[in-house]
Amino acid sequence: MDKKIVFGRSLKDIFYASAPFLFVLIAGVIALKFIDPAPPKRIVISTGDSEGDYNSYAKQYREILKEDGIDLIPRPSTGSAENLARLSDTKSDIDVGFVQDGLGDAEKSPELSSLGSLYYEPIWIFYRDKAELRRLTQFMGKKIALGREGGGTHALATQLLKAAGVTEQNTHFLSIASENAAAELRNGNIDAAIFLTTAEDPLIIGLMKEKNIKLMSMDQAEAITRQVPYLHHLVLPHGVMDLQAGIPDRDIDLVSPTATLLVKDDMHPALVYLLLKAASQVHNSPGIFEKKNEFPMDKAFQFPLRSEAETFYKSGVPFWQRYLPFWIATLLDRFLLLLLPALAILFPMIKLVPKIYSWRIRSRIYKRYGELKFLETQILPNSGIDAHADYMKKLDAIEDRVNQLKVPLVYSDHIYALRQNIEFVRGRISKKQGLPS
């Protein structure tokens, strides 16, 4: 028997026996493309002013994500309010944005979730007055710059002042940008200006060095944070801005929201982990208000914390991403997503493959047995020479087909047994005709 033919036939039998298993596996791989598609290679982030903190941090994120083959595309904006509007717009291509606490809510934008708090953005209230002002009610009737209309500073400042009874009806609110507000305050054209930025902002450092301008210390800072949960009570220590000059000249009580990252719910989970990893590298350093590794933190107020963020803050990035390149780790995660539920289907099918294979081999042998049995039932005891010759011809044809059977060696005993049975029938035919076999 030609070993190559037998080997080839065995491979064919194995293929047919494995066909159902292979079909399910291929169907699962195709389904995976739609159930859990590969993450896109680009993320669009809404930042802020081209010279602001949001844009600066986005550039740092971009360099980190580039190492994993992801292109982070910054889109400058007027600030938090516009970032939130872009994210809430279903037609917008923005995937993620910097938004300060206190803006928006989950009821109005249910498609958004938070990746946690990134850093403090204190509220700085600078003013010109001979007296020391320590309460928001003392600004009633004055000219106050609140930041650009539609910006996050304007929204939060308006909300904070109105909580203290300072409104547009009893006070002159001015909607002007930060740089212009600082200039107007220096020139004495306005009484106060409110800013929302980090302590490292050159604008803040410059105003603190002005002799005729004071930074308000809120004696009700703690009470304010109890009334407004997303605000935090911070203390700017005496001399922290300039030890030699003693700036500030005393501890200053401030209130502050935190900057957060908001993402759309349809963002791929793998990209969420990459953003969180980048945020950890950028924001974990200590600052004037922040302790080392304090940020990012799992705090979310207006919007729920994304499930991947909850996992990240508890146990870090997924196992594969700790030790493997991003795209390999992602591929393994997707494969496991397919494999685990598929095992319940594939494992029984794998056990069936040897049985199906054996059945295919045996079926060819049993087919010859069936032909032999049928021929045996046709043999009549009183048939003539012509019938004897016909029986023998048919029997020889069966034997010839048996000899052409290509089966693995392990099934050779079945072939030999079948040949013995053919000889047995041949003997019966000859005996019934009274002829030698």
If DSSP codes are grouped into helix, strand and coil, which group holds residue 350?
helix
Is residue 142 in some structural domain?
yes
Is residue 332 in some structural domain?
no
Burial 15-52 (b: 16+ CB within 10 A, else e): eebbeebeeebeebeeebeeebeebeeebbbbbbbeeb
Token code pair at residue 34: 């739609």
Task: Tell me the range of 24-28, 253-257, 357-361 where mean pLDDT is highest.
Answer: 253-257
Rounded Cα–Cα distance for residues 298 and 114 (Å)? 9
Residue 128 sits in the same domain as residue 108: no
Rounded Cα–Cα distance for residues 145 and 128 (Å)? 12
Name beta bridge partners: 120: 258
pLDDT confidence of residue 6: 42
- Residues 6 or more apart whose Cβ sits within 8 Å of residue 139: 125, 127, 133, 161, 166, 171, 191, 192
Residue 248 sits in the same domain as residue 275: no
Residue 250 sits in the same domain as residue 305: no
Residue 219 sits in the same domain as residue 286: no
Q: What is the pLDDT of residues 141-196, one digit of tens each?
A: 999 999 988 788 998 999 899 989 999 999 999 999 899 999 999 999 999 999 99
Q: How many residues does the chain have?
A: 437
- Give the total number of structural domains in the chain: 3
- Residues 6 or more apart whose Cβ sits within 8 Å of residue 193: 125, 126, 127, 144, 145, 181, 182, 184, 185
Q: What is the pLDDT of residues 314-360, one digit of tens each?
A: 988 887 788 888 878 777 776 666 666 666 666 666 677 677 777 77
Q: Which residue, of 278, 298, 317, is where some domain finishes? A: 317
Residue 20 sits in the same domain as residue 106: no
Q: Is 0.75 topped by the overall pTM?
A: no
Rounded Cα–Cα distance for residues 275 and 255 (Å)? 27
Residue 137 sits in the same domain as residue 103: no
300 DSSP 8-state letter: -
Residue 271 sits in the same domain as residue 236: no
pLDDT confidence of residue 221: 95
Is residue 337 in some structural domain?
no
Q: Which residue, of 275, 296, 317, is where some domain finishes? A: 317
Q: Which domain holds residue 284?
A: 36-117+263-317
What is the CATH number for 78? Answer: 3.40.190.10
| Contact criterion met (CB below 8 Å) for 192 and 161 | no
Model confidence at 19, in pLDDT bands (50, 70, 90)? low
The predicted model gives 209-237 an average pLDDT of 94
Rounded Cα–Cα distance for residues 239 and 235 (Å)? 12
Residue 161 sits in the same domain as residue 199: yes
